[in-house]
């Protein structure tokens, strides 16, 4: 994205050609930009992969845009962030023991998420055999998005340190106990957890407090989930450093007036007594709309939309995989463990969840729950999750009814549905390039 301007200078018998690089400044005009929780009519200025302050650009540097894109009244929102994604488009992150399959699978998902407005996500592993963790964790590295697709924000390890009675679709034979605190996690996950962003665990497990403290000390977010925790136990976990609740209402003790369990934390979040965020699956199957309304009305600032999507996302009804288990997708897009009525993740895309939740909480609240709130939970709000000046230029152009028109990463368009007059950059599978070079080196 550089243009060049040659200047020719004559000096006696020689000609000197001097080439200067001109910084490309892009202006997206005629847009409604989502900023500070509301839509405003304003142009979006981008250069070198970040969002610019046009006033500083003009008055300090006397610069104007050299590329203009007419958005024609569409919305521009921050790129969506999905912190719980088990797979999609035929890929299951928890079922491959082949390192090359892991990398090619993550590459495929990164590319395909762009059509749904997702610019960053956390690949999620459900409760799995030890060998799966040792194979997958080192291979899925945090990486910035761009020509390879959406950013990988770090792994979400949902299990195996969960309550067997609240296992949901997790295979019980692989559930583990935190028998020796954090050392139990190192034995299962491996000592190098630099690729991990989130760990979901049941706080009532013995020595879980030690595990929470050590994970938080390593900069890993701890989320309460698949649990029978009482309100007192949940409070203790939050006070020890846990800052998340995994798919609220699902795989946890139901609300009771004498002991509200994990759900009882919501008013404490609203009162700012505790700082945490909670995930909601707005797929129409996991959580009733009334329940989502109760949660959001109680504590809107903590709401994070998640898809909990699986291998079957984007595929036809039939049998698919979730880790070591066979799951069945029916014609109503409901996914269950084969032979049971147990929900096994979803096939919802993030843009669908945003549209569904906009009916419940309003358009602006739905966008916040898919952008700023997950960024805050991950501690990445200084780079992603908003369209503030200086942030990464990762954003989505959307129709007024919240359908994805185009997806930009670092200010470059990597997906368009054709309705926007913009140059679209190719998204590539670099794993194939690496594989080819490896084969050439061997030969």
pLDDT at 308: 98
pLDDT band (50, 70, 90) for residue 66: confident
Mean pLDDT confidence for 311-335: 95
* 169/13 Cα distance (integer angstroms): 80
Of 265, 250, 288, give the one whose Cα is nearest residue 166: 250
Residue 306 has pLDDT above 70, yes or no: yes
Does residue 262 contact residue 277 with C-beta atoms inside 8 Å?
no
Q: How do residues 178-190 score in pLDDT, each as one tens digit? A: 887 788 899 999 9
pLDDT-derived band at 435 (thresholds 50, 70, 90) equals low
Q: Is the pLDDT of residue 441 over 70?
A: no
Catalytic (active-site) positions: 308
Question: How many alpha carbons lie under 13 Å from residue 411 in its C-beta half-sphere?
Answer: 21
Q: Which residues contact 273 (CB under 8 A, 6 or more apart)?
A: none
11 band by pLDDT with thresholds 50, 70 and 90: very low
Q: How far apart are CA 29 and CA 44, in angstroms?
A: 7
Write out pLDDT tens, residues 106-133. Answer: 999 999 999 999 999 999 999 999 999 9
CA distance 139 to 143: 12
d(CA 270, CA 61): 44
Question: Would you say residue 35 has pLDDT above 70?
Answer: yes
pLDDT digit string, tens, across residues 69-101: 999 999 999 999 999 999 999 999 998 667 788
Confidence tier at 24 by pLDDT (50, 70, 90): confident
| pLDDT higher than threshold 50 for residue 103 | yes
The mean of the pLDDT values for the chain is: 91
Peptide bond preceding 117 in cis form (omega within 30 of 0): no
pLDDT > 90: percent of the chain: 82
Contact between residue 300 and residue 357 where contact means Cβ atoms under 8 Å apart: no
């Amino acid at each position: 994205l550089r243009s060049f301007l040659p200047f020719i200078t004559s000096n006696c018998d020689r000609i000197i050609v001097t080439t200067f690089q001109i910084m490309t400044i892009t202006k997206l005009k005629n847009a409604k930009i989502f900023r500070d929780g509301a839509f405003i009519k304003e142009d979006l200025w981008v250069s070198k992969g970040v969002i610019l302050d046009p006033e500083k650009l003009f008055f300090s540097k006397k610069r104007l845009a050299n590329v203009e894109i007419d958005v024609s009244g569409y919305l521009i929102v921050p790129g969506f962030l999905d912190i719980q994604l088990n797979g999609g488009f035929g890929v299951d992150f928890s079922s491959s023991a082949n390192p090359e399959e892991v990398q090619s699978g993550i590459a495929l998902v990164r590319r395909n998420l762009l059509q749904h407005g997702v610019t960053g996500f956390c690949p999620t592993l459900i409760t799995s055999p030890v060998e799966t963790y040792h194979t997958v964790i080192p291979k899925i590295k945090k990486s910035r998005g761009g020509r390879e697709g959406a950013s990988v924000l770090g792994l979400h390890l949902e299990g195996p340190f969960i309550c067997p009675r609240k296992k949901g679709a997790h295979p019980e034979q692989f559930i583990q106990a935190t028998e020796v605190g954090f050392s139990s996690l190192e034995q299962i996950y491996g000592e190098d957890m630099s690729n991990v962003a989130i760990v979901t665990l049941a706080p009532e497990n013995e020595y879980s407090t030690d595990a929470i403290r050590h994970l938080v000390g390593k900069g890993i977010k701890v989320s309460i989930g698949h649990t029978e925790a009482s309100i007192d136990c949940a409070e203790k976990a939050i006070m020890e450093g846990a800052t998340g609740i995994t798919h609220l209402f699902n795989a946890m003790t139901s609300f009771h007036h004498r002991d509200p369990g994990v759900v009882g934390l919501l008013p404490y979040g609203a009162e700012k007594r505790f700082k945490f965020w909670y995930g909601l699956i707005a797929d129409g199957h996991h959580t009733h709309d009334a329940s989502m309304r109760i949660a959001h009305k109680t504590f809107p600032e903590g709401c994070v939309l998640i898809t909990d999507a699986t291998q079957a996302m984007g595929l036809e009804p039939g049998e698919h995989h979730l880790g070591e288990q066979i799951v069945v997708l029916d014609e109503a897009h409901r996914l269950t463990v084969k032979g049971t009525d147990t929900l096994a993740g979803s096939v919802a895309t993030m843009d669908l969840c945003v549209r569904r939740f906009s009916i419940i909480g309003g358009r602006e609240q739905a966008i916040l729950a898919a952008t700023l709130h997950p960024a805050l939970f991950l501690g990445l709000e200084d780079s992603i999750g908003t369209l503030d000046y200086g942030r990464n230029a990762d954003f989505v152009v959307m129709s007024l009814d919240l359908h994805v028109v185009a997806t930009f990463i670092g200010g470059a368009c990597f997906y368009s549905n054709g309705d926007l007059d913009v140059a679209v950059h190719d998204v590539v599978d670099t794993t194939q390039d690496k594989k080819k070079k490896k084969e050439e080196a061997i030969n």
